């Protein structure tokens, strides 16, 4: 005792010092939790620990609501005209009930240490948390403490194992009434305790069940629990009705002074070996008058007649329990329409309660369960409705069969790829930082597969990924046609497309290439976006892009690309421009065409120079013959050699025509040089050059 007196003030001082040293809140780090004793920690009502505990306590409340009605199955008909208590089954139920009571007790302890939001601070936002333990305790004692205490007290255990054995001459009927009264009284606070707990979970986490099937199972458990309670009460009331019938007939025999005399304790199975009871049982009419088989009109037992006709009261627990559960579920689902009641007010009130409870449960809980089940297939049903509407629209508009088939393929492919989820709407509803991180996770690896984007830094790639949208196309679909305005760039994720051009409809010209995963198309849009003073009109496509397979790609729209090119000047760097030209199939086609045209011009100029030389020699040879007839032999030999070469290689008429064509070619070349002068037009580096001149092919023909 002296040691306790010496150390108790020290412990109190240490506790007060700890409370002043550490904040009264639930610490975030595990090491700090070990330093602060748990009885000094104040819990945040919005913390993860409290949210998990609420879910655990909700499950324990459902288990407790299931265990309490099992006390009604403790009394049973143990023999002829006697009722007894199944103490072995009662011990099991008492153990389960005690475990459930421990959860209620722990919940009360946690509520003494859980902070609350001050009511006067709920003006803007969430409000201020009150962390003081004294204020928390006072508030809890004024609000929910009485209900929680009434739900936590182990009243059935106390009455069964302590009070009833202490009563002199206890009977099963007396114990039956006492336990049923205690359980029914305590069942109401335990039942109403679920509603604030349910609201608290929804307020903290948003939903009571995270998946549709979990929500459906939760509502199904509630309906089954209601059937379990109704069936248990019906069983207990049937035992009571049979006991009441025995006592009424016993009183009649006592008044009639029938011998052997009936006694009330004969209906307890502990008197089965009593000689007087055996003698009374052989001559009494109590069993005959309380026989449910003779109650054809249900005037004596009413809705409880089936319990004795089917021998439910004397059956094993498993058979007895499932029959009572079925009786409760059947009458709840049918709103008690098949019940044959007597004129007793209690029985009629019980039937009315079954009808009202059936309406409530099957309108609310079954409706919620149907909603949960339908939510798992709501997108599929929406897709079916949309597909049906599309079919009706196509038939109404009398579209050709090939167009109808293409529409069906696109609708089917979009459902397979997205499952009816509008990704763009979901992303737009998120904050900017979170949306940027998600887009980076989804698109960065795919964008880096494009060689042109591999040259960019992370900041520029993030800006591009943030504005990419998903694009789906079916097989044999034209993404863009030659001459149409280009409104987006496509970066192919999977699939193949064919990119072809006729150079503006030039006769005899056709260029085609196949693009796959990692390639891009719509380069005209990038050229248009990089022009500082570009017009509002979108550029025209120089190629026709057609899908060869099902195509999935990311699209970068014109306004987004213009914004990126305006905000990030690094996109105008010479390194990126050279990379764009190198990987662009458009620029490769232009380069090949210009090389061909340049080579043809070189060949034409070379031929023209040769023909001009031959023509000069020819005319010079003719003039020399008229003016100088007496040249030396060396001059005659050279003139004859040149004349023979010119006559052998080209006819005079062809030579003159070739000379005129060469002069025209020179003038055309000089005109081209004047047009392509960058000083006069001031064209940007990436602007599309003029189309090559293929007139050489026409000249040769």
Greater model confidence, 415 or 631: 415
Any domain includes 372: yes
On whether both 141 and 90 belong to a single domain, the answer is yes
Collapsing DSSP to helix, strand or coil, 43 comes out as strand
Those residues whose C-beta lies under 8 Å from the C-beta of residue 188, and which sit 6 or more positions away, are: none
Lowest mean per-residue pLDDT among 27-31, 42-46, 73-77, 431-435: 27-31
Which tokens in the block code for residue 551? Answer: 């195509």
List C-alpha distances in Å: 277 to 2, 249, 263: 64, 15, 8
Which tokens in the block code for residue 231? Answer: 């069936």
Greater model confidence, 242 or 585: 242
d(CA 148, CA 219): 24
Q: What domain range is 101 assigned to?
A: 37-208
Q: Other C-beta atoms within 10 Å of 312: how many?
A: 22
Greater model confidence, 372 or 340: 340
Query: φ and ψ at 347, to 5 degrees?
Result: -65, -40
Assess whether pLDDT exceeds 80 at residue 206. no
pLDDT digits (tens, 9 = 90+) for 460-493: 788 878 888 878 888 888 888 888 888 888 888 8
Lowest mean per-residue pLDDT among 48-52, 334-338, 640-644: 640-644
d(CA 148, CA 145): 5
d(CA 608, CA 571): 46
Any domain includes 461: yes
List C-alpha distances in Å: 352 to 192, 333, 345, 616: 21, 14, 10, 126
Any domain includes 607: no
Any domain includes 122: yes
On whether both 132 and 161 belong to a single domain, the answer is yes
On whether both 110 and 236 belong to a single domain, the answer is no
Q: Which of 185, 208, 231 is the last residue of a domain?
A: 208
Name the residue among 161, 184, 188 with its Cα closest to residue 237: 184
Average pLDDT for 413-441: 78
Average pLDDT for 53-78: 89
Average pLDDT for 507-536: 75
Cβ(235)–Cβ(73) below 8 Å: yes
Helices 317-333 and 212-255 meet at what angle, rounded to 10?
A: 110
Tell me how many degrees the CA angle 612-613-615 measures, rounded to the nearest 5.
65
The pLDDT value recorded for residue 321 is 92
d(CA 181, CA 171): 16
Name the residue among 227, 236, 242, 231 with its Cα closest to residue 302: 242
Assess whether pLDDT exceeds 90 at residue 103. yes
Any domain includes 20: no
Q: How many CA atoms lie within 13 A of 323 on its CB side?
A: 19
Any domain includes 267: yes
H or E element, residue 181: helix 172-192
Name the residue among 505, 527, 523 with its Cα closest to residue 515: 523
d(CA 168, CA 455): 96
On whether both 340 and 424 belong to a single domain, the answer is no
Q: Other C-beta atoms within 10 Å of 181: how many?
A: 12
d(CA 334, CA 303): 14
Cβ(632)–Cβ(657) below 8 Å: no
d(CA 222, CA 202): 17
Cβ(475)–Cβ(413) below 8 Å: no
Which tokens in the block code for residue 433? Answer: 């930082």
Average pLDDT for 329-343: 86
Assess whether pLDDT exceeds 50 at residue 154. yes
d(CA 101, CA 700): 104
Q: Other C-beta atoms within 10 Å of 443: how many?
A: 22
Assess whether pLDDT exceeds 50 at residue 49. yes
Average pLDDT for 357-382: 75
Those residues whose C-beta lies under 8 Å from the C-beta of residue 687, and which sit 6 or more positions away, are: 527, 531
d(CA 14, CA 353): 58
What's the chain's average pLDDT? 75
On whether both 367 and 430 belong to a single domain, the answer is no
The pLDDT value recorded for residue 99 is 92
CA R_g for the chain: 49
**pLDDT interval class at 530 (50, 70, 90):** confident
On whether both 431 and 506 belong to a single domain, the answer is yes
Q: Which of 174, 208, 242 is the last residue of a domain?
A: 208
What is the biggest distance separating any 2 CA atoms in the chain, rounded to whole angstroms?
Answer: 183
**pLDDT interval class at 57 (50, 70, 90):** very high
Helices 172-192 and 48-67 meet at what angle, rounded to 10?
A: 150
Q: What percent of the chain has pLDDT over 70?
A: 71
Here the CATH number for the domain that contains residue 435 is 2.60.120.10
On whether both 190 and 218 belong to a single domain, the answer is no
On whether both 467 and 483 belong to a single domain, the answer is yes
Any domain includes 622: no
pLDDT digits (tens, 9 = 90+) for 657-685: 555 555 555 554 444 434 334 344 343 44
On whether both 199 and 218 belong to a single domain, the answer is no
List C-alpha distances in Å: 258 to 26, 58, 273, 289: 75, 57, 21, 15
Q: Which residues, listed in sequence order, are joined to residue 494 by a DSSP beta bridge?
A: 552
On whether both 232 and 376 belong to a single domain, the answer is yes
Any domain includes 304: yes
On whether both 229 and 174 belong to a single domain, the answer is no
Number of domains making up the chain: 3
Q: Which of 567, 583, 599 is the last residue of a domain?
A: 583
Q: What percent of the chain has pLDDT over 90?
A: 7
Collapsing DSSP to helix, strand or coil, 521 comes out as strand
On whether both 347 and 285 belong to a single domain, the answer is yes
């Amino acid at each position: 005792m002296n040691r306790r007196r010496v150390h108790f003030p020290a412990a109190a001082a240490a506790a007060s010092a700890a409370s002043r040293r550490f904040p009264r809140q639930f610490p975030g780090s595990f090491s700090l939790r070990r330093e602060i004793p748990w009885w000094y920690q104040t819990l945040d009502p919005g913390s993860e620990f409290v949210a998990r505990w609420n879910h655990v306590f909700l499950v324990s409340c459902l288990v407790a609501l299931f265990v309490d009605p099992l006390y009604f199955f403790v009394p049973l008909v143990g023999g002829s005209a006697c009722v007894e208590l199944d103490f072995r089954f009662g011990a099991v139920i008492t153990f389960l009930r005690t475990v459930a009571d421990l959860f209620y007790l722990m919940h009360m302890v946690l509520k003494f240490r859980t902070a609350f939001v001050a009511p006067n601070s709920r003006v803007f936002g969430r409000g201020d948390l009150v962390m003081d333990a004294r204020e928390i305790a006072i508030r809890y004692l004024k609000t929910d403490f009485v209900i929680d205490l009434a739900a936590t007290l182990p009243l059935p255990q106390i009455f069964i194992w302590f009070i009833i054995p202490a009563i002199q001459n206890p009977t099963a009927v007396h114990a039956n009434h006492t336990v049923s009264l205690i359980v029914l009284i305590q069942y109401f606070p335990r039942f109403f305790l679920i509603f604030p707990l349910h609201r608290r979970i929804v307020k903290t986490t948003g939903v009571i069940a995270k998946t549709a099937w979990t929500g459906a199972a939760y509502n199904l458990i509630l309906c089954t629990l209601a059937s379990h309670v109704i069936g248990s009460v019906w069983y207990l009331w049937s035992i009571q009705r049979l006991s009441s019938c025995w006592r009424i007939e016993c009183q009649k025999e006592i008044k009639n002074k029938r011998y052997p005399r009936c006694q009330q304790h004969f209906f307890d199975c502990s008197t089965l070996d009593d000689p007087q009871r055996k003698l009374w049982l052989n001559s009494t009419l109590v069993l005959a008058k309380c026989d449910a088989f003779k109650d054809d009109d249900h005037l004596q037992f009413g809705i409880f007649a089936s319990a004795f006709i089917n021998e439910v009261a004397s059956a094993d627990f498993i058979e007895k329990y499932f029959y009572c559960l079925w009786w409760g579920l059947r009458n709840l689902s049918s709103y008690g329409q098949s019940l044959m009641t007597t004129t007793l007010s209690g029985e009629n009130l019980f039937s009315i309660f079954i009808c009202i409870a059936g309406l409530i449960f099957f309108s609310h809980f079954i409706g919620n369960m149907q909603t949960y089940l339908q939510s798992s297939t709501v997108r599929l049903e929406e897709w079916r409705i949309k597909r049906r509407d599309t079919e009706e629209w196509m038939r109404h508009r009398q579209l050709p069969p090939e167009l109808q088939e293409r529409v069906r393929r696109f609708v089917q492919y979009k459902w397979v790829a997205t499952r009816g989820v509008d990704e763009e709407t979901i992303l737009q509803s998120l904050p900017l930082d979170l949306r940027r991180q998600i887009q980076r996770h989804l698109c960065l690896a795919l964008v880096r597969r494009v060689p042109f984007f591999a040259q960019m830094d992370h900041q520029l790639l993030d800006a591009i990924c943030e504005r990419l949208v998903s694009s789906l196309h079916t097989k044999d679909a034209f993404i863009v046609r030659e001459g149409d305005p280009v409104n987006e760039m496509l970066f192919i994720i999977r699939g193949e497309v064919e990119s072809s051009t006729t150079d503006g409809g030039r006769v005899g010209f056709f260029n085609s290439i196949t693009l796959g995963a990692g390639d891009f198309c719509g380069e005209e849009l990038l050229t248009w976006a990089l022009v500082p003073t570009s017009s509002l009109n979108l550029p025209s496509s120089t190629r026709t892009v057609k899908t060869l397979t099902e195509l999935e790609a990311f699209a970068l729209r014109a306004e987004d690309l213009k914004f990126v090119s305006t905000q990030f000047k690094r996109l105008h760097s010479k390194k990126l421009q050279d990379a764009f030209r190198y990987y662009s199939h458009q620029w490769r086609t232009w380069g090949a065409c210009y090389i061909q045209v340049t080579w043809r011009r070189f060949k034409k100029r070379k031929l023209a120079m040769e023909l001009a030389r031959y023509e000069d020699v020819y005319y010079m040879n003719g003039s020399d013959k008229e003016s100088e007839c007496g040249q030396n032999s060396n001059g005659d030999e050279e003139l004859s050699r040149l004349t023979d070469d010119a006559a052998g290689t080209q006819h005079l008429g062809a030579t003159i025509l070739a000379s005129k064509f060469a002069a025209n070619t020179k003038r055309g070349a000089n005109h081209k040089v004047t047009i392509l002068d960058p000083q006069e037009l001031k064209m940007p580096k990436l602007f599309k050059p003029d189309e090559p001149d293929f007139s050489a092919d026409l000249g040769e023909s």
